[in-house]
Amino acid sequence: MRCAGFCLLFFVLTVQDISASHPKLTDAELDGLRGAVKSVTTNVERFEGRDPDAPNHLVITYPVWCEVCEYDEEGNSIKRGQVVEGRFVGGTTRYLRNEDGTIREKRLRDENGQPFQNVMLGPFGKTEEEDYQNGRLQWRQTFRYDKNGNLIEWLTFDPRGNQTASTTASYDEQGNVTEQFDRGPNNSFRLHFTQNYNLETDVWTFISYNENGTVRVTRTTNDNRITSYWEQPGARHEYGSGVYFNTAPKERECEDHSPDGKVWHQSEKFIDERRHDPLRVELRDETRVVQMAADYEL
């Protein structure tokens, strides 16, 4: 599937493209590191001056996301955080394993030893997650998969056990989401979309709906480009307004449509096909003029 995904994700706890087709990477690789890494300390310089009209979710990619990190021999994160005024602020992770050595639970603690997060794992991924603040439970989430490993249900509960959010999804034979619903407290509406990908024609159709069933965003893509796009008048940046294409094995481009009719393009070149470590990232306006760019050294 050349049309690889959406540029914009929001409603962090509930609104997600929950396809299970992404390759499995270690924590170290997800942080942008290569090889057998035991620990790392990094520093990132940030510069101002981007176009204020540019969509705020298109950003320069940082090659390494970790400031102070340590990993075990398998690349699992065991320490993560930063140094603030000479003091480490972050957390540590302890892994509990089954008899065959597979990880069944992750226990994360903050710099003071207080619970931060507990994650239960199954054959397809996490099955339950508890998140804490200052040692007190803030919310709990459960995850359910189909026989192919696709995440079909994601529920969020408050500390008292009341359901506050839910995501349900269905999939095609290739593991692509065909329909997804996101709901908030008291089953309130958050998101509903359908999509279809035709392997023979390389045509991808996407439709996002309002709660009453009317169309919010509709888009068709073919041959690495958006061939038709419409969003309801008065809309803001919507889920589905941007999409990225794998234009080459080591290249990707995002096309994003703003409510005012502008189209932004973000192109990325990578070192390899698997981890997508960046070599160069460019943000271009609707006339393809570069507005922001970054180059990376190995």
pLDDT digits (tens, 9 = 90+) for 37-57: 888 887 656 555 555 555 555
Task: Show the tokens assigned to 50.
Answer: 């981007």
Task: Show the tokens assigned to 46.
Answer: 């940030």
Checking if the pLDDT of 25 tops 60, the result is: yes
Checking if the pLDDT of 108 tops 70, the result is: yes
CA atoms within 13 A on the CB side of 26: 17
C-alpha dihedral (234, 238, 240, 242), degrees to nearest 10? 90
Query: Could you tell me the pTM of the whole model?
Result: 0.76
**Which is higher by pLDDT, 250 or 154?**
154
Distance in angstroms (rounded) separating the CA atoms of residues 280 and 32: 14
The CA-atom distances, in angstroms, between 76 and each of 150, 287, 295 are 23, 43, 28
Note the pLDDT of residue 273: 74
Mean pLDDT of 248-276: 79
Q: Hey, what long-range contacts does 51-54 have (CB within 8 A, 24 or more apart)?
A: 51/283, 51/285, 51/291, 51/292, 53/262, 54/264, 54/283, 54/285, 54/291, 54/292
Note the pLDDT of residue 11: 32
C-alpha dihedral (220, 221, 222, 226), degrees to nearest 10? 110
Average model confidence (pLDDT) across the chain: 83
Nearest to 193 by CA among 203, 204, 174, 178: 178
The CA-atom distances, in angstroms, between 45 and each of 50, 268, 295 are 15, 20, 13
CB atoms within 10 A of CB 227: 11
> Does residue 224 contact residue 230 with C-beta atoms inside 8 Å?
no
Residue pLDDT, tens place only, 199-229: 899 999 999 999 999 999 999 999 888 889 8
Mean pLDDT of 146-153: 96
